[in-house]
Structure 1
């Protein structure tokens, strides 16, 4: 089960970390992306059912984690966004899982708009 301790599920990646990674070499960025990919693959392929319990905001990579789970339960006040596009990034590492969870057409719209959507529309 994936849950949060605070008011929000996940704000996504740390923007300071993203800035630091922009100064890293291509090889360092590939290594970092590979570690994230491995983690997402392991979560997606667990042999037992996985559950994401979402309250508050789930942005960026948080949506990727949710997409890897078999079941997602969101509170009425939950809000979601693939907000990377707003800082000039594409959600490449999480995209296969998001596409699988919500379908290609919805994913394309959300990947390019960064729009927020609620638990009713998730």
Structure 2
């Protein structure tokens, strides 16, 4: 995606790609273009897709913008990881609690 914004992109429902299909609006989430929108072939990823690509948004003008957006994306992913770890800890604590309760019940009825 090394193409540059030409400043004249007209966005509407009828923007056509090179193979005659209506181009799809997508959002880039790469390190260099986080959150930047572009038009591309609606069949992207399929063998019959063309190479149509055109930026809709201007490039991020200040390097700090990229840094902030990428940092927020990393923080969001980190929160997901921490939430999964917390759920796993809670699950294991519940298993331990059930095992302790079973041992207590068995000891009570055996003695």
Shorter-chain TM-score range: under 0.3
Say which structure is richer in helix. 1
TM-score normalised by the chain length of structure 1: 0.25
Larger RCO (CA within 8 A; separation ≥ 6): 1
Higher-Rg member (1/2): 2
